[in-house]
Structure 1
Amino acid sequence: MSWKFWQKSKDDKPKKKKTKTREWVDAIVFAVVAATIIRVFFIEAYTIPTASMERSLLVGDFLFVSKVNYGARVPMTPIAFPFAHHTMPITGTKAYWDGVQWKFHRLPGLSDIKRNDVVVFNYPQGDTVALEQQDVDYYQMVRSEGWAAINSRYTIVSRPVDKRENYIKRCIAIAGDTISMANGLVSVNGKAEPLKNTGEISYEVVFKTPDVNPSVFEDLGFNISDDIRSTMTPNVYTFNGTAEMMADVKKLDFVQSVKVFTAPPHEREGDIFPFDRNRDWNVDNFGPIIIPKKGWTVKLDSVTMPLYERSIRIYEGNKLEKSATGWLINGKAADSYTFKMNYYWMMGDNRHRSADSRYWGFVPEDHIVGKALFIWMSYDTNGSFFSKIRWSRLLRGIH
């Protein structure tokens, strides 16, 4: 019998205690990894920076966006700095390395995107950016000033899909739908889709007198500096508001008339998708447009190509060329094309102050980030000290 059973084995020796520094490092690494997994695959916080979704969503609203509802998108650019999107906050340098790119893959979700869902997505035309003018659409600048002028003046960079700017809009039409708009009213598959009661449009308001106290409109919920603008005609103003707000304006005794302000039909706007001189479309009148659906085949001709050329070439990664007799796709003659992805049509609830699909077209399914769920905080920078937090909006669901 061994008389050494009472001796401690080597494994029983007390382990070296971690230093405080090591404990902090381990805790930070764990927290970063856990938070990254939650952000990528489950839920992420976003804020509303512009008024394009008013008054459904307000500037200063902080949202939680679900990655689970539509299925989490596996990172396409896996090597990136944690908690930064495309740019480092202090240095302004790139926050990712695009030397490694993974193909688009989405995990199973709870549901497909439905009409009227409020969706966060990567800006489709954000593939190319002028660093000195990141808030301006690169392609819009090129159409306005020419490719040579823009590329000689600015530093031009490209961004992978998941590192393009995040936008939030309402899904108006899904893959396979036909959308049109006439006099400001949207129709999907021939059925009118009225604006949400929290949505805003522009109105022309005529006063009986120039002597009007602006505070009256503040009491009705208007932001005087943003929502009301004078025109060249005396006593005539443009208002931006909801139908309910404008009904209250109409009741004021100094108001002569209130009418919806829309662009006339057949008055072409050059910045409206698909930027085709043969289409007299504008912000309030366009279509019909068929939203591409996976497996749908479109005939390639002078009518369809302005609508679908970018989707075929950029979003689906084909080499597209015009030949003497028609079109070449990846070097082969083609008179039709079958789409590989689903697409969506997104619009802001603030119809006359929203950069949306009317200006840049379809949103491909690989650009979809998630579904907006609810507002967890709302902060009004213009409010007084005691009213900066919009208490009535906290934990409000997004519909």
Structure 2
Amino acid sequence: MNLQPILGNFALILFVAMVITGIIWCLDVFYLAKKRRAAANAALAEYDARTAKLTANGIKVDSNDHARAALEAGLLRQPTWIEYSGSFFPVIALVFVLRSFLWEPFKIPSSSMVPTLLVGDLILVNKYAYGVRLPIINKKIIDIGNPQRGDVMVFKYPKDESQDYIKRVIGVPGDKITYENKRLTINGTPVQYEPMDDYLDNEHPVYYKQFLEKLPDTAHRILNDDTKPPLDYGGVENFPHRESCTYSYDKFTCIVPEGNYFMMGDNRDNSADSRYWGFVPDKNIVGKAFLVWMNFSNLKRIGGIH
């Protein structure tokens, strides 16, 4: 699922805007404002001298503090381009810091994570759950934690890192993942499935088989489409560490390489994921999805992501 950033793909744009407005703000604070102040002081001194000279020559001059203040204000006034830059700089800087290090909003555009996430859900992603990373280059500088099985994670699509994807973590480094007859086995232990009521997909609309999938660390709902095979073998691509996986037409087994993660969509038969395009390296991690903060078509969607 290619996510749609709420703010757009603006990390670089925001950074450039922040740098430009910040330079203008600093230039004004440390140079231009002082220059305007000096010019105002010189003009006021000339104004006061002229007034004093007229008074000394016996010419009565009415004190006009308002005119003097207006003269000073006009000389100290910021040019419009500096005023707008100074106003925008703190706002841009705040947005940049929030979306780079704390939380970033996205919009769900497709159904690969149904029933957990629906089309139109507006979600928040925790950017520091798996470590603090430098914006733009996404390099981890502080290690806080690692993805766990069952986490709903946003990451840069390995085939095109300009795109953000969202899936569920199924395998962590070292795990042996087997998928057969639409059932998972992790490290030799079959995952337990609890049948639930069929799920009506209003987008199409069709009914899907729904199960509670009980991973070793968490439980969540998944969907199966009885009209589709367990694996579309023709859709399997070449990818890094492809030798770690063994495929047949209805089954595969993969051992997750060190520093990588195996991802799957909850809408299992309608999700292009690690089964087809491979593992997600740690360097591609964006963050952990934790909240649906709005869905304009269904306000009941607001709440935590499990």
Q: What range describes the TM-score normalised by the shorter chain of this pair?
A: 0.5 to 0.7
Is the helix fraction higher in 1 or 2?
Answer: 2
CA contact under 8 A between 1:70 and 1:108: conserved in structure 2? no
Measure how far apart 1:36 and its partner are: 1.3
* 1:368 and 2:275 are equivalent in the alignment: no
Aligned-partner Cα distance in 2 for 1:368–1:173: 14
- Counterpart of 1:215 in structure 2 is none
- Pairs within 5 Å for 1:246-265: 260=226, 263=229
SS in 2 for 1:113: coil
Tell me the TM-score normalised to structure 1 length. 0.49
Partner residue in 2 for 1:233 = none
Q: Distance in 2 between matches of 1:186 and 1:113?
A: 19
Aligned to 2:26: none
Match of 2:139 among 105, 109, 127: 105
2:190 aligned to which of 187, 192, 214: 192
2:78 is matched by which residue type in structure 1? K
1:345 counterpart SS class: strand
Instruction: Tell me if structure 2 keeps the 8 A contact 1:345–1:363.
Output: yes
1:226 deviates by: 1.7
Residue 265 of structure 2 is aligned to residue 397 of structure 1: no
CA distance in 2, matches of 1:40, 1:194: 38
What secondary structure sits across from 2:140 in the alignment? coil
Residue 347 of structure 1 corresponds to 264
Q: Does 1:286 align with 2:193?
A: no
| Counterparts of residues 307-386 of structure 1 (less than 5 Å) | 342-379=259-296
Residues in 2 aligned to 1:197 and 1:373: alpha-carbon distance in whole angstroms: 25
Q: Secondary structure at the match of 2:129?
A: coil
Per-residue displacement from partner, 1:200-258 (whole Å, max 9, x unpaired)?
Answer: 9xx9xxxxxxxxxxxxxxxx7442x6243xxxxxxxxxx434249xxxxxxxxxxxxxx
Alpha-carbon distance in structure 1 between the residues aligned to 2:114 and 2:272 = 13
Q: Equivalent residue of 1:33, what SS?
A: helix
C-alpha displacement at 1:187, in angstroms?
1.2
Where do 1:34-53 residues align within 5 Å? 34-53=94-113
Q: Is it true that 1:120 corresponds to 2:154 in the alignment?
A: yes
CA–CA distance in 2 between the matches of 1:268 and 1:18? 64
Shift of 1:18: 2.3
State which of 220, 239, 242 in structure 1 corresponds to 2:210: 242
TM-score in terms of structure 2 length? 0.63
Aligned-residue sequence identity (percent) comes to 33
Gaps of 5+ in 2: 1-37, 42-71, 213-224
Query: Equivalent residue for 1:178?
Result: 176
Partner of 1:324: none
Deviation at 1:11, TM superposition (A): 12
- Give the Cα separation in 1 of the matches to 2:87 and 2:97: 15
Tell me by how many angstroms 1:273 deviates: 4.9
Contact between 1:73 and 1:107, CA under 8 Å: does it hold in 2? yes
In structure 2, what is the Cα distance between the partners aligned to 1:195 and 1:119? 22
Unaligned residue ranges in structure 1 (runs of 5+):
1-9, 78-103, 127-160, 204-219, 229-238, 245-258, 294-341, 380-387
In structure 2, how many angstroms separate the alpha carbons of the residues matched to 1:195 and 1:348?
A: 16
Number of the residue aligned with 1:270? 234
* Matched residue SS, 1:170: strand
- The aligned counterpart of 1:17 is 77
Query: For the pair shown, which has the larger CA radius of gyration, 1 or 2?
Result: 2
2:126 aligns with: 66
When the two chains are superposed, the root-mean-square deviation of aligned CA atoms in Å is 3.5
d(CA) in 2 for partners of 1:120, 1:196: 27
Is this contact kept in 2: 1:67–1:370, CA < 8 A? yes
Q: Tell me the distance in 1 between the aligned counterparts of 2:281 and 2:262.
A: 9
AA of the residue aligned to 2:210: T
Query: Would you tell me which structure has more strand in proportion to its own residues?
Result: 2
Determine helix, strand or coil for the equivalent of 1:270: helix
Relative to structure 1, the CA distance from residue 186 to residue 20 in structure 2 (aligned partners, 3 Å threshold; closer, same or farther) is same
Q: Distance in 2 between matches of 1:60 and 1:241?
A: 22
Aligned-residue offset at 1:28? 1.4
Instruction: Tell me: CA distance 1:195–1:166, structure 2 relative to 1, closer, same or farther (3 Å).
Output: farther
Equivalent residues, number? 224
Conservation of the 8 A alpha-carbon contact between 2:107 and 2:123: yes
Secondary structure of residue in 2 paired with 1:38 = helix
Deviation for aligned residue 1:366:
0.5
2:172 and 2:181 map into 1 onto residues whose CA distance is: 22
